Chains A and B, each alone.
Chain A
Amino acid sequence: AQSVAQPEDQVNVAEGNPLTVKCTYSVSGNPYLFWYVQYPNRGLQFLLKYITGDNLVKGSYGFEAEFNKSQTSFHLKKPSALVSDSALYFCAVRTSGNTPLVFGKGTRLSVIA
């Protein structure tokens, strides 16, 4: 069975500082990994994904994530946080084919001015 762990419920960071939101996964076979962001009362917005290729994936709004197979991790990073980055972030995984995404519980990011 597939699973995703986001060990932090809340991450606080000062504006301008680098941010990291952690994610580890468990899946049989090759993982397809995703990060989504959710603003209050809104649906999910796609940030980035890893399917294959370079382990460092660059996505929307200056976010990036690094796939680490040995550590089964896919941490989300941004070099300089903005107040507008404050939101709920979800890591998700699925295998190949047309399988549904399995989501982590989410991490709330607060960027303080």
Chain B
Amino acid sequence: GAVVSQHPSRVICKSGTSVKIECRSLDFQATTMFWYRQFPKQSLMLMATSNEGSKATYEQGVEKDKFLINHASLTLSTLTVTSAHPEDSSFYICSASGGAGHEQFFGPGTRLTVL
């Protein structure tokens, strides 16, 4: 299957700082990328859907000004958690799709800890 990478795999930051997480499709062009969030012992919750070259579509309850998503190329999407707080600590997972009818491939996840 196709490979999706995420960087960093783990990040610890101080409250009030911003953190950027990268999601890359390594061997295919991802027209759509999805960002999920997973709290401990819970399921994945969709945060937003981003299509290359256009603004991301956020799920209800997800603050677009806090979770900035950029999908500037067909192989890279970034999620920036701005002014992070301890409640933003979570496991963030991206998935990438080559388009309608294509399978979604998941990245390995990024564990964010905000102190």
List residues of A whose CB falls within 8 A of some B CB.
Answer: 36, 41-46, 49, 90, 96-98, 100-106
Instruction: Return the contact of B103 from the options A42, A49, A103 (Cβ within 8 A).
Output: A49
A45 contacts across to B, CB distance below 8 A: 106
- The 4 lowest CB-CB distance pairs between A and B, nearest first, are A43-B108, A44-B106, A43-B109, A98-B100
User: Could you list 10 A-B pairs, sorted by A, with CB under 8 Å?
Assistant: A36-B106, A43-B93, A43-B107, A44-B44, A97-B100, A98-B32, A98-B100, A100-B34, A101-B95, A105-B43
B108 contacts across to A, CB distance below 8 A: 42-43
What 0/1 readout, one digit per residue, does chain B (26-62) give for beta carbons within 8 Å of chain A?
0000011010000000111010010000000000000
List residues of B whose CB falls within 8 A of some A CB.
Answer: 1, 6, 31-32, 34, 42-44, 46, 49, 91, 93, 95, 97, 99-109, 111
- Min CB–CB distance B6 → chain A (angstroms): 8
B42 contacts across to A, CB distance below 8 A: 105-106
In this complex, which of B34, B99, B106 has the most chain A Cβ atoms within 10 angstroms of its Cβ?
A: B106
Q: A97-B100, A105-B43 are in contact. Are A42 and B31 (CB under 8 A)?
A: no
Report yes or no: A44 in contact with B93, Cβ–Cβ below 8 A.
yes
In this complex, which of A41, A49, A96 has the most chain B Cβ atoms within 10 angstroms of its Cβ?
A: A41
A43 to B110, alpha carbons, bound, how many Å?
Answer: 9
In this complex, which of B43, B106, B108 has the most chain A Cβ atoms within 10 angstroms of its Cβ?
A: B43
Q: A36-B106, A46-B1 are in contact. Are A100 and B46 (CB under 8 A)?
A: yes
In this complex, which of B1, B44, B107 has the most chain A Cβ atoms within 10 angstroms of its Cβ?
A: B44
Report yes or no: A104 in contact with B49, Cβ–Cβ below 8 A.
no
A47 to B88, alpha carbons, bound, how many Å?
Answer: 30
Specify the chain A residue showing the minimal Cβ separation from B110: A43
